[in-house]
Each structure stands twice: as C-alpha cells, then as structure tokens.
A and B are shown apart, each in its own frame.
Chain A
Amino acid sequence: MNDSELSDLIIQGAGTIPVSPAPVDQIHLAAKRQHRRRSQTAAALIVALLLLGVTSLSAWRDWVTDDAPIAASATPVGPPVAFSIRTQCGIEYLEYDGRTWRTQPLGRGSVPEGLPPVVDGELQLMSDSTLVFTSKLIANPIVFRPGDVDPNYVCF
C-alpha cells in the first residue's frame, strides 16, 4: 500500500464517521467563561499581591518600631541624637528621656574591653520601649529597654 492509497482509505473511512453540527454558540460561551475566569484570577492575584505588600510593610514597620505605643514618650520617635555613654562601670544602664533604660550588661562592671571610658555615638528612640545606641567603636547596635536599676547595683 503506497502513500496515496493509504491517504484515500483514511479520508474515505473517516468521511463515513457521522459528526454533529458545530456548536458555535457553546464555544463562544466557553470562551467567555475562560475570559471571565482569567480576569477573576488576575484580579485575585492583584488583590493578593496588594495584601501581601501591605502586610509585609506593616510587618516591617512593626519590626522596626517593635509595635509599642509611643504616646507616653516626651521624646519623639525619629532621628538619632548624639549621645555619649560612660563605660566605667560597664554598659548596662542609661538615663534618657527622664527614664532609666537597661540592656544586657557589657564589661562586667568595668570598662568593656577595647572601649574608652566615654563612648560617643548616637541614640535613637525607635519606640516607647526601644532605645538603640550605635557607635563607630561598637560593632553591633546596643538595644535598651525601659527598666529599673537593680538595688544591688553599685557604681562609683
């Protein structure tokens, strides 16, 4: 059997297969449904992305500001101010904005290794409960939280 014989047989055989009329209207309806689904999907995607963006922004702000109320502070949250810390008894407490702030002790009651008795830097109130000190002399920012001085704490 050669190519043309096979082709004829297939065309003739297939021609005997009954076929219903073309459902043109149904195809149009199905296409409209697909269009609608695509539009809805695109709209849902845009909304999801917007929500994600808002949530991320909010989370970022919460992370930066520690999500604490700021109304109680007399000093506005905002730009850093120049500040010097005395290190003769180590770094643990500081007084700022009329309040006592405390951090994880550095220096075991004496000047931390490698630091001078007075460290110049910047202090930034990030929120009512977060105060951050940065200095070129210290590798990582020091985070202070509101706290009271330990009654046993002694510094001369």
Chain B
Amino acid sequence: MDDTDFDEFVRARWPKLVRSAILLGCSPTEAEDVVQAALTRCLVNWTKVVGAHDIDAYVHRILINSFTSSRRRLWVREQPTTDLEAPASEDMTERVERSDALLRSLRKLGSDQRAVVVLRYYVQLNEQQTAAVLGVPVGTVKSRLSRALSALACDPALAEMKGTQ
C-alpha cells in the first residue's frame, strides 16, 4: 500500500469515522479534528496499520485513543486550513432532528457504554473486536451493552425516532 491507497482509505472511511466521533460525544468540528489527528497517526504508522490483522478495528482503536486524549487535555490539536467549507444550503430540518434525537439519547449514556454502543452498533464490530479496541474483556463489553440497551429501550427520543421510521 502506498499514498494512493492511503488516500482511498481516508476517503472511504472519513464519513464513518467522523460520525463515530460525533456519536462518541464530539461536536462536529471537534470530531473532524479528532479523526484528522487519528488518521495522521495512521499515516505516520501506515506500515503498522496495513499490517494489522483487522485494519478497521485498529483504526478505530487509534480514533478512540485520539478521542480520549482530546477529552483528557480538554483541547484538540487543530490543523490550520486555507479552505473554508461552504455552508449547507438545502433544508436539513428533518435530518438534523433525527441525528439530534440520536445524539441526545447517546449522551444520556456514560462514556464507556456509549463507546461500546457506537463500536458495536454503528461501526459494526463484533464483541471480540470491540473488546480489543477498548482494551477490556469481552464480558465487560457484554455487560456494558446490556446496560446501555436497557437505558436506550426506555428513552423517549429514540422511541420517537423509531416511530418516524
């Protein structure tokens, strides 16, 4: 794999990684910074990433670490940009409502439970992969998922989302 492969990798994974970071608790801007920092680490250690048994799990582990570091430091290393993103012009009302409901529900979970839910149900890692990414036993993943599911099951915002499907 060379730079071209990395570029393709980034373009393919970027949306999912940014959304994962947002689901984990970042603001949209912060999420892009965290993912950019994670992907920069990936590029610096690209040989390791490519050699990893499960690239997606490996990259998500780096993402989780970047996210945790950013929370610990209470700041995120921003990379300066010369291009400003153009503001969205289409009517985003319904989309914003759905994503807002989801984010409100996830915010009610503790950070550990939220990470498990995001990795398991959004990133679609299995329990073993999730455990490896978070560095916890599979049993811990299961118990966190169970508690998170119980909390989400009675969350009105999520029920509302379910109703509008």
A21 to B44: give the CA distance in the assembly, Å: 21
| Contact, CB under 8 Å: A10 / B23 | yes
For chain B, residues 39 to 88, give those with C-beta under 8 angstroms from any C-beta of chain A.
39-41, 43-44, 79, 81, 85, 88
A14 near B32 (CB under 8 angstroms)?
no
**CB pair B79 A30 closer than 8 Å:** yes
1-53 of chain A: CB within 8 A of chain B: 1, 3, 5-7, 9-24, 26-31, 34-35, 38
Can you name the residue of chain A whose Cβ is closest to the Cβ of B155? A1
B36 and A30 contact, CB distance less than 8 A: yes
Q: Report if B133 contacts A (CB, 8 A).
A: no
Contact of A26 with B81 in the complex, beta carbons under 8 Å: yes
Chain A residues with CB under 8 A of B138: none
Given A9-B158, A27-B40, also A20-B98 (CB < 8 A): no
| Distance (whole angstroms) from the CB of A76 to the closest CB of chain B | 57
Please give the distance in Å from A39's CB to the nearest CB on chain B.
12
B94 contact set on A, CB distance < 8 A: 16
Do the beta carbons of B44 and A35 come within 8 Å of each other? yes
Q: Given A13-B98, A13-B161, A14-B19, check contact A31 B149 (CB 8 Å).
A: no
A24/B11 in contact, CB under 8 A: yes
| Interface size, chain B (Cβ < 8 Å) | 46
Q: How far is the CB of B17 from chain A (nearest CB, A)?
A: 9
A22 and B43 CA atoms in complex are apart in Å by 14
Q: Please tell me if the beta carbons of A9 and B14 are within 8 angstroms of each other in the complex.
A: no
Supposing A1-B162, A24-B11 touch, asked if A17 and B122 sit within 8 A by C-beta, the answer is: no
Most chain-A Cβ atoms within 10 A of its Cβ — which of B44, B81, B88, B120?
A: B44
Q: What residues of B have a CB within 8 angstroms of the CB of A30 in the complex?
A: 36-37, 40, 79
Are the CB atoms of B102 and A14 closer together than 8 Å? yes
The verdict on B156 contacting chain A, using a C-beta distance below 8 Å, is no
Contact present for B88 and A16 (CB under 8 Å): no
Q: A16-B99, A17-B28 are in contact. List 10 more A-B contacts (CB 8 A).
A: A7-B120, A7-B122, A9-B161, A12-B98, A12-B165, A14-B102, A15-B19, A22-B11, A28-B3, A34-B41
